[in-house]
Amino acid sequence: MTTKYDVELIAATKRYGNTVAVNAISLRIASGTYCCLLGPSGCGKTSTLRMIAGHEDVSEGDILVNNRNVTEFAPAERGTAMMFQNYALFPHMTCLENVAFSQRMKGVGRARRLEMAREFLSLVEMSAFEKRRPGELSGGQQQRVALARALITKPKVLLLDEPLSALDPFLRLKMREELKQFQRELGITFIHVTHSQDEALALGDQIVVMHDGEISQSGPAADVFDRPDNDFVARFIGGHNVITREDRKVAVRADRLKLAESAATALMTCNVTAVEYQGTHARIVMKDPDAAESLTMQVPDAEFKERPIDVGADIGIRWEAADEHSL
């Protein structure tokens, strides 16, 4: 079966004056999938999303949505909808009016557009709040209204710019689950910008790691986590140590480093600089005296209780050859 792609970027570049925010990136996003654009601040994620949405001109290259070249199209003509970081709801309108707004702009009659808006408010379980204004809602509720407002345009692709960043940690997890559920139920493509590795791993069928305006790696979440292509991805995606072994660099996951049983089985000796107890495991930060960088090891809770490790101790560590990933 051939894969169908909803979004394709062909050597897309975004320049602001002399700043190259996005440098000739090419990317394909399969239909009906959840794609996360992940990377540190300033790497070009938002510019990429805004080029897809049509809120930002493309300096060079092309954007295809549903196999149509939309590079010169206005945002409303692209088959995409955008959900903004601060939700951008109109404060003077009720939830119902906010959701119905795009249909009013399209000239849909009042009765029909309110009926449609009610349908989408019901989809996000916000029917009971239709008469409230955004200022009278919690962050999570505002987010649901913003989602209904984006979905009412029946987009092929929903673009989400840091949609969870304004929420407290508890609500963030709950809304994260809900976004994934909506995406599955609706079967449309979601492209979600985040700087959170956890969020990208939890949500993304495809993760696109960006760095300095370029794509460092793109692939299924488990591939990007288990088989980082380079140092940047290994470090950024978290949970990996980059270790130099006889002039080659390897990545080893923090949960795959072990305390050596004896000096003879140790591959390295490190000095412990920090110990953080984290409930299910302890996070041990240590330094190889011959290297500039720190290493991190995760020790399961039971093991840590049996063999506690103190700051300042010199410990031997090892790992299995199968857990080494060459960079």
Ligand X SMILES: Nc1ncnc2c1ncn2[C@@H]1O[C@H](COP(=O)(O)OP(=O)(O)OP(=O)(O)O)[C@@H](O)[C@H]1O
- Applying CB under 6 A, the residues found at the interface with ligand X are 16, 19, 21, 39, 41-47, 195
The per-residue DSSP string of 111-161 comes to: HHHHHHHHHHHHHTT-GGGTTS-GGGS-HHHHHHHHHHHHHTT--SEEEEE
| Closest distance to ligand X from the beta carbon of 192 (Å) | 12
| Closest distance to ligand X from the beta carbon of 327 (Å) | 23
How far is residue 211 from each of residues 45, 102, 214, 216, 226, measured CA to CA in Å? 9, 35, 5, 6, 19
| Closest distance to ligand X from the beta carbon of 147 (Å) | 20
Q: Between residues 213 and 296, which has the closer beta carbon with respect to ligand X?
A: 213
| Closest distance to ligand X from the beta carbon of 195 (Å) | 5
Q: Quickly tell me which residue has 């849909």 as its tokens.
A: 108
Q: Between residues 42 and 219, which has the closer beta carbon with respect to ligand X?
A: 42
Joined together, the tokens standing for residue 310 give: 């103190």
Tell me if residue 245 falls in helix, strand or coil. strand
Q: Between residues 21 and 242, which has the closer beta carbon with respect to ligand X?
A: 21
Q: Between residues 94 and 217, which has the closer beta carbon with respect to ligand X?
A: 217
| Closest distance to ligand X from the beta carbon of 146 (Å) | 18
Q: Between residues 46 and 218, which has the closer beta carbon with respect to ligand X?
A: 46
Distance from first CA to last CA of the chain, Å, rounded?
32
Question: CA 234 to CA 209: how far, in whole Å?
Answer: 11
Cβ proximity of 205 and 17 under 8 Å = no
| Closest distance to ligand X from the beta carbon of 12 (Å) | 12
| Closest distance to ligand X from the beta carbon of 47 (Å) | 3
Pick from 225, 243, 239: nearest CA to 296 = 239
| Closest distance to ligand X from the beta carbon of 89 (Å) | 20
Question: CA 13 to CA 67: how far, in whole Å?
Answer: 19
Q: Between residues 83 and 254, which has the closer beta carbon with respect to ligand X?
A: 83
Q: Between residues 212 and 226, which has the closer beta carbon with respect to ligand X?
A: 212
Other beta carbons within 10 Å of 54: 22
Q: Is the dihedral of CA 68, 71, 77, 83 positive or negative?
A: positive
Angle at 134 between CA 129 and CA 137, to 5 degrees: 60
Helix (H), strand (E) at residue 251? strand 248-253
Q: Between residues 44 and 155, which has the closer beta carbon with respect to ligand X?
A: 44
